[in-house]
Every structure is written in structure tokens, then in C-alpha cells.
Amino acid sequence: MADHSHLDDATYFRERAKEWRALAQQVDDFEDRNNFLAIAKDYDLLVEKADAHHARKASAIAYKW
């Protein structure tokens, strides 16, 4: 089994944010649109965390050498 998690996959979260933004464009209700955009923004925060996690991991691996 692969040792892979979406929790540290920034690309996965970027795609989810993109999907929520696309959905927001299709919604007429202002409140719903804002809720969808808020979800997309939350995914953007996960992108930042995943990128930071990846950078720490890469730094730790480089440090071992």
C-alpha cells in the first residue's frame, strides 16, 4: 500500500479550492456563493499547511545528508 496522504498533498487541496470556486460562480444566492468561497479559502489554507509540511520534510531529509 502506498504511503500517501491527502493531508500533505497541496495539489489535492488546490484542486478542491478550484472546484469550490467554480461552484460558487454557478450559484445565484449571494450567501451561498460566499459560503462556497469561504470553503475555497479554507482549502487555500490547507494548501499553505501542506506546502509548509512538505518544505519541513524536505529540509529534514536534506539535513540528514
* Residue 63 clears pLDDT 80, i.e. is over it: no
CB-based contacts of 41, cutoff 8 Å, min separation 6: 17
Within 1-65, residue ranges assigned H as helices are 10-26, 30-64
At 16-62, the pLDDT tens digits run 999 999 999 999 999 999 999 999 999 999 999 988 887 877 776 66
**Can you give the pTM of this predicted structure?**
0.77
Q: Is 23 exposed, middle or buried (0-12, 13-18, 19+ CB in 10 A)?
A: middle
b/e burial code for range 24-36 (CB count within 10 A of at least 16 → b):
beeeeeeeeeeeb
**Domains in the chain: boundaries:** 7-64
